[in-house]
């Protein structure tokens, strides 16, 4: 097992699952079913009619829910628990055979990565909902769908590139989180000081 490829697939698919879990699972299922690339045997977990059809059906439901302001926020709120759990499951599946301790660590990592991308998506979409026009929502939603497909493609074909993309995006999320927290802290200290 190539560690870098496995890590690239794990981080890539976990990050994508935080943005759109159902598209990610559908991509994994279809790739395993149709042999788009040669995948390790553990990816056969997604090669099931029930898994593929459920993922495609839920993706279509999310595709439309994501285009409606405030419905998308409600959808994201419901998925605040679902996407990180899905990211953890995807991460453990990409790992294959491993010790229970390794599986636990990888599940935590996958869940944390999915939670990071999910919370970033959710907060961005909540800000977009303050705009009176619907087009920002539509463009963000379509961009997210294209991003998930693109990152899924990278994770399947070029896992090393997916690792770089996921690592850079996680670093940017961390930097922006620090900037936002400092800004909020300064704002509160000024408000309390006056």
Tens digit of pLDDT for each residue in 32-41? 999 888 878 8
Residue 5 CB-density burial (10 A; 0-12 exposed, 13-18 middle, 19+ buried)? middle
Q: In the numeric block, which tokens belong to residue 54? A: 């459920």
Q: What is the mean pLDDT of the chain?
A: 90
Instruction: Tokens 């936002």: give the residue.
Output: 180
- Given a contact cutoff of 8 angstroms between Cβ atoms, the answer to whether 114 and 15 are in contact is yes
> What tens digit of pLDDT does each residue of 74-100 get?
999 999 999 999 999 999 998 878 888
Instruction: Tokens 């697939």: give the residue.
Output: 9
The number of angstroms, rounded, from the C-alpha of 183 to the middle of its chain's C-alpha atoms is: 26
The number of angstroms, rounded, from the C-alpha of 164 to the middle of its chain's C-alpha atoms is: 15
pTM of the model: 0.90
Q: What total number of domains does the chain contain?
A: 1
> What tens digit of pLDDT does each residue of 154-176 get?
999 999 999 999 999 999 999 99
Candidates 122, 54, 46; CA nearest to 84 is 122
For residue 127, CA distances in Å to 25, 69, 188 come to: 27, 11, 20
The domain containing residue 91 runs over which residues?
3-193
């Amino acid at each position: 097992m190539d560690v870098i490829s496995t890590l690239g697939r794990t981080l890539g698919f976990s990050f994508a699952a935080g943005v759109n879990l159902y598209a990610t699972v559908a991509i994994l299922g279809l790739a395993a079913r149709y042999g788009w690339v040669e995948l390790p045997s553990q990816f056969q977990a997604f090669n099931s009619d029930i898994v593929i059809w459920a993922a495609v059906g839920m993706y279509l439901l999310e595709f439309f829910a994501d285009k409606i302001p405030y419905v998308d926020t409600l959808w994201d709120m419901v998925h605040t628990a679902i996407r990180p759990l899905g990211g953890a499951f995807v991460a453990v599946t990409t790992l294959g055979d491993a010790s229970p301790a390794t599986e636990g660590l990888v599940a935590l990592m996958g869940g944390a990565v999915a939670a990071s991308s999910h919370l970033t998506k959710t907060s961005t979409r909540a800000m977009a909902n303050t705009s009176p026009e619907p087009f920002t929502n539509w463009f963000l939603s379509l961009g997210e769908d294209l991003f998930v497909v693109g990152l899924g493609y990278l994770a399947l074909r070029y896992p090393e590139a997916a690792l770089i993309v996921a690592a850079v995006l996680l670093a940017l999320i961390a930097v922006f989180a620090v900037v936002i927290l400092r800004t909020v802290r300064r704002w509160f200290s000024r408000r309390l000081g006056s």
